[in-house]
Amino acid sequence: MAPPKVYKNFIDGEWVESTSGNTFDDINPANRHELVGMFQKSNARDVEMAVAAAKEAYKAWRLVPAPKRGEILFRAARLLLESKETLAEQMTREMGKVLEETRGDVQEAIDMTFYMAGEGRRQFGQTTPSELQNKFCMSVRSPIGVAALITPWNFPMAIPSWKTMPALICGNTVVLKPAQDTPLSTYNLVQILEEAGVPRGVVNLVTGTGSEVGAPLLRQADVRLVSFTGSTEVGQEVSKVCAASFKHTCLEMGGKNVILVMDDAKLDLAVDGAVWGGFGTTGQRCTAASRVVVDRKVYREFTERFVERARRLKAGNGLDPEVQMGPLINEAQLSAVEKYVEIGKNEGAKLLCGGQRLTGDGYDCGAFYAPTVFGDCDPKMRVAQEEIFGPVVSVIPCDGLDEAIDIGNGVVYGLSSSIYTQDVNKAFKAMREMETGIFYVNASTIGAETHLPFGGTKQTGNGHREAATAALDFYSEWKSIYVDYSGKLQRAQIDNA
């Protein structure tokens, strides 16, 4: 058998080993005996070199016309499209989700790259009239500098693209730190950007742990922007570190998303949405529907259908075309899910299906957990309040729309919510009242598209948005420009008063 491939960091246009001389293993979560590859166990010195390269490259990159930067991104999007199937297969091996979903992950990166390539010709400012004669006013976007991008394991190509492409099109340079569980997909993205012609030092990749790479990256004085997607606990620490040096900081963190099922809902459609939202990506999405609030008039019928569908889901290796749900990312996440299921049972939630590891039939080598549904949940139970990040859904009864909205809003997070109803009045009221950054009508809580802003309220984030033109507001600064061609001193608010 051939030895596993050793992947390198990408610093200043070169693929290089870490100065530590050490590596770590990238393991297939569906089969812990399969080594996907070995990656650099980088340290603070590697971070310093990557940031220095990005800082030097910024001097020239910021002056490249935005349409020219867009041409490079357009080439990258074409290369991603050509390699979509290979990239998806490799992602399934390192992350575990089924091929249908990893194809979607790659497609999201393709969509984002094409979209931001077009923004190279649409970085619109404004021209506005002046209060004074013979004076011209306008605003333009300006790049900021070196961006540190820290990305999660659940969307290992899509989310790096969400951050990298708007950063580049605005004229910033990048140091990427991917999640330790899924570095290969981000490595592949960077390799494609190199092939597309991104200049030396503009994009840098440093792999390793949060403590040895992420923390030193945040403390680098030459890093001007930080974009982080991950847990709320880590995000809070990121915020504290960045606040000390006033870095631009975008945080995308936890969620406890909810589907509201009204008594007039099309139940087959609502069940489809709850299954997809709750168990897609094995529940490991920040937008996963881990709560379903159901009107008592249809509670029993909905719950019976939902549980029956959950029991039928086939879990296994995501490369198997018959498999509908892959493994959890690792043993630690599997243990966390087990802990929460025990909490739910101890709190008095009714276990309707699942509730255990999957064993035998090839499951013993992977991090597999059965699709799990709790019924008759009190909305204040921990399983209905805290992010679990696994295939666990709490079904909560309610009496009407107002109570459903109150329950839906009764968590510290505010990322995504949805309602199933045939009543336009209910739909619009919920649309207005739900305290989430994303809202769906007659669709599940997952399925965001790259041309709309993505982000949440409350403890989900810090107010910034990713994707769409909203991303440009984080990765650029506004500069207001006044041109006085009167040939004399003119004083605004004084001479024109």
Whether residues 299 and 239 share a domain: the answer is no
Q: Which residues are catalytic?
A: 252, 286
* Residues 207/180, Cβ–Cβ less than 8 Å: yes
**CATH number for the domain including 303?**
3.40.309.10
Whether residues 314 and 389 share a domain: the answer is yes
- Cα 65 from Cα 171, distance rounded (Å): 9
**Residue at 238 is within a domain:** yes
**Residue at 488 is within a domain:** no
Whether residues 60 and 83 share a domain: the answer is yes
Contacts of 205 (CB under 8 A, 6+ apart): 9, 10, 11, 50, 175, 176, 178, 186, 187, 190
**Residue at 114 is within a domain:** yes
Q: How many domains does the chain have?
A: 2
Whether residues 136 and 243 share a domain: the answer is yes
Whether residues 225 and 268 share a domain: the answer is no
pLDDT at 56: 99
Range of the domain at 391: 258-441
Whether residues 163 and 30 share a domain: the answer is yes
Entry pTM: 0.95
**Residue at 446 is within a domain:** no
What is the enclosing helix (H) or strand (E) of 175? Answer: strand 173-177
**Residue at 209 is within a domain:** yes
What is the enclosing helix (H) or strand (E) of 353? Answer: strand 350-353
Q: CA 281 → CA 19, 92, 392, 426, 486, distances in Å?
A: 35, 11, 12, 30, 63
Whether residues 396 and 276 share a domain: the answer is yes
**Residue at 174 is within a domain:** yes
Give the HSE-up count for residue 293: Cα atoms under 13 Å, Cβ half-sphere.
29
Q: What is the mean pLDDT of each run of 10 residues along the chain (497 residues)?
A: 88 98 97 96 98 99 98 99 98 98 98 98 94 96 98 98 98 98 98 98 98 97 98 95 96 97 98 98 97 98 98 97 97 97 98 96 94 98 98 98 98 98 98 98 96 96 94 97 96 88
Whether residues 61 and 208 share a domain: the answer is yes
Whether residues 69 and 141 share a domain: the answer is yes
The per-residue pLDDT for range 406-463, each reduced to its tens digit, is 999 999 999 999 999 999 999 999 999 999 999 999 999 999 999 999 999 999 999 9
**Residue at 395 is within a domain:** yes
- Cα 214 from Cα 345, distance rounded (Å): 37
Helices (H), 245-377: 267-279, 296-312, 331-347
Whether residues 209 and 302 share a domain: the answer is no
3-state secondary structure of 118: helix
Whether residues 54 and 116 share a domain: the answer is yes
- Cα 465 from Cα 200, distance rounded (Å): 29
Whether residues 390 and 405 share a domain: the answer is yes
pLDDT at 361: 84
**CATH number for the domain including 24?**
3.40.605.10
**Pick from 380, 439, 374: which is nearest to 412 by CA?**
380
Strand 23-28 and strand 248-252: the pairing is: unpaired
- Cα 77 from Cα 253, distance rounded (Å): 27
What sign results for the dihedral spanned by CA atoms 88, 94, 98, 102? negative
**Residue at 95 is within a domain:** yes
